[in-house]
């Protein structure tokens, strides 16, 4: 158990399928920033777990999932997706703890640089990441559904 701001919580690896409903509900309720999509279906989640199961983490309070972060590593760069903390638990250290753990695990894998994307309607989290030494990059992000 980790004690943060008088809140006892546990960080552990995501377990499929038992954690999927709670994590999916958390993503849906997170507000701007976590935008569940085609990559977040049960089938796609299982694929992800086949690659980096140790980078998909959840935070629990009293055996209830109240936070999550999903990391990825392609052998060259890391990516952080879906950092989400339930509204009633925000500001109590869970987001920092989840990020510390996923960043540590990425580093252990040999990752020397990681990226994350912030939706324009979620600008309020920029300072959270800047405090953690993440920097804004002047890039155009492009995507294509395959």
Please tell me the predicted confidence (pLDDT) of residue 1.
60
Q: Which pLDDT does position 134 carry in this prediction?
A: 95
Residue with tokens 């980790």: 2
**Which pLDDT belongs to residue 33?**
84
Q: Which two tokens stand for residue 46?
A: 């299982």
Lookup: tokens for 43: 């089938």
Sign of the CA dihedral running 117, 132, 1, 62: negative
Q: What pLDDT is stored for residue 35 in this prediction? A: 86
Residue 67 near residue 95 (C-beta atoms within 8 A):
yes
Digit-by-digit pLDDT tens for the chain (146 residues) are 655 557 899 999 999 999 999 999 999 999 888 989 999 999 999 999 999 999 999 999 999 999 999 999 999 999 999 999 999 999 999 999 999 999 999 999 999 999 999 988 888 899 999 999 999 999 998 999 89
Residue 130 has a pLDDT of: 94
pTM of the model: 0.91
* pLDDT at residue 5, as a whole number: 54
- Domains of the chain in start order, with CATH, are 2-131 (3.40.630.30)
Say what the pLDDT of residue 31 is.
86
The b/e string for 91-101 (b: 16+ C-beta within 10 A; e otherwise) is ebbbbebbbeb
| Residue 105 pLDDT | 98
Token representation of residue 60: 């629990």
Annotate 57-108 with DSSP letters as a single string. Answer: EEEEETTEEEEEEEEEE-SS-EEEEEEEE-GGGTTSSHHHHHHHHHHHHHHH
């Amino acid at each position: 158990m980790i004690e943060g701001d008088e809140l006892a919580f546990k960080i552990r690896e995501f377990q499929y399928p038992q954690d999927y409903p709670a994590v999916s509900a958390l993503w849906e309720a997170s507000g701007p920033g976590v935008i569940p999509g085609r990559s977040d279906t049960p089938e796609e989640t299982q694929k992800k777990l086949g690659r980096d199961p140790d980078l998909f983490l959840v935070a629990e309070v009293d055996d209830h999932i109240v936070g999550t972060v999903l990391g990825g590593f392609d052998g060259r760069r890391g990516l952080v997706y879906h950092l989400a903390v339930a509204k009633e638990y925000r500001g109590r250290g869970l987001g920092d703890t989840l990020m510390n753990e996923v960043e540590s695990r990425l580093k252990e894998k040999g990752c020397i640089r990681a990226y994350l994307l912030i939706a324009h309607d979620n600008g309020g989290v920029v300072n959270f990441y800047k405090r953690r030494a993440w920097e804004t990059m002047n890039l155009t992000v492009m995507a294509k559904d395959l």
